[in-house]
């Protein structure tokens, strides 16, 4: 049953494939990073409203699947690793509050 299903999916994928319009791997990675960035920005906006509601003593709280960075308003910045740049294995990232 499983092999038949996989063969059917392979056939459907081959029929629908449009290699001429397919994105390159770097383009897909850039677009995926942009989507993740947009999602984090939306989560930060939502967290702002939750914090505002908590300040006003409204019965609100954060969803369990919201990014902790969005909740605390932090941004993780990974410095470039190059000689003389201050980046080292002991100094992997900085957390900067907005």
Mean pLDDT by 10 residues, the chain (98 residues): 88 85 87 92 95 96 91 76 54 53
Alpha-carbon span 58 to 49, nearest angstrom: 11
- Do 47 and 73 touch, CB atoms closer than 8 A? yes
Instruction: Give me the residue spans of the domains in the chain.
Output: 23-97
Residues 6+ apart with CB under 8 A from 13: none
Nearest CA to 80 out of 72, 68, 91 is that of: 91
96 secondary structure, DSSP code: E
- Do 71 and 63 touch, CB atoms closer than 8 A? no
pLDDT of residue 74: 84
């Amino acid at each position: 049953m499983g092999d038949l299903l996989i063969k059917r999916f392979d056939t459907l994928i081959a029929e629908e494939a449009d290699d001429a319009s397919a994105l390159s791997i770097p383009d897909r990675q850039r677009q995926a990073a942009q989507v993740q960035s947009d999602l984090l920005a939306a989560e930060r906006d939502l967290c702002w409203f939750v914090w505002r509601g908590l300040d006003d003593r409204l019965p609100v709280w954060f969803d369990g699947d919201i990014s902790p960075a969005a909740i605390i308003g932090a941004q993780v910045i990974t410095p470039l690793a190059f000689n003389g740049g201050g980046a080292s294995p002991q100094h992997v990232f900085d957390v900067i509050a907005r």
